Amino acid sequence: MKLLECSVCGHVEFDVAPDKCLVCRSVQAYKENDAAIKRPGQTPGGEADKKHLPFIKVEADSFFAGSTDSVLVKAVIGEMEHPMKAEHFIRWMDFYVDHKFVNRVWLSPALNRPAAAVSIRAKSGTVTVCQNCNMHGTWMTEQAFGA
């Protein structure tokens, strides 16, 4: 899987680079960068992993009770809660289904804990969550759901 990173906002696309960044709209800003994301199996391990790898849960969509065509994707950073201080915090979380970008959630160190939940219109597939720590870079977890 090829990683293409936007040189302006850090957004990552998989395999194919769109002309404009899907987050910041910069033109032709994607550059191939295999080291753009720390993935399970390519991480330093230990406490750094526990504080940075997204911890994903895919549940029935409680925003829309009884929904059969959407799921609620919850992601927490991480298994041990990551700090949210002005000098060290989670800047954003990007959500994907089957490696197609869905949306970015920006986080405030003053007002957010390191977590987000989004309602995604899908019954099955693979969810990817990438999070960016202002000090330690971008980390990714994937999880299959449904089917």
Which residues are near Fe ion by CB under 5 A? 133, 135-136
Using CB positions, name the residue nearest to Fe ion: 133
CA torsion sign, 108 to 110 to 115 to 119? Answer: negative
The b-or-e profile of 42-80 (16+ CB within 10 A means b, else e) is eeeeeeebebbbbbbebeebeeeeeeeebbbbbbbbbee
Q: How far is the CB of 83 from Fe ion (least distance, A)?
A: 7
Q: How far is the CB of 33 from Fe ion (least distance, A)?
A: 19
Q: How far is the CB of 129 from Fe ion (least distance, A)?
A: 15
Both tokens of 9, joined, read: 């906002």
In the block, residue with structure tokens 């990714």: 140
* Alpha helix ranges (H) inside the chain: 46-52
Q: How far is the CB of 49 from Fe ion (least distance, A)?
A: 11
**Comparison of 84 and 133: residue with beta carbon closer to Fe ion:** 133
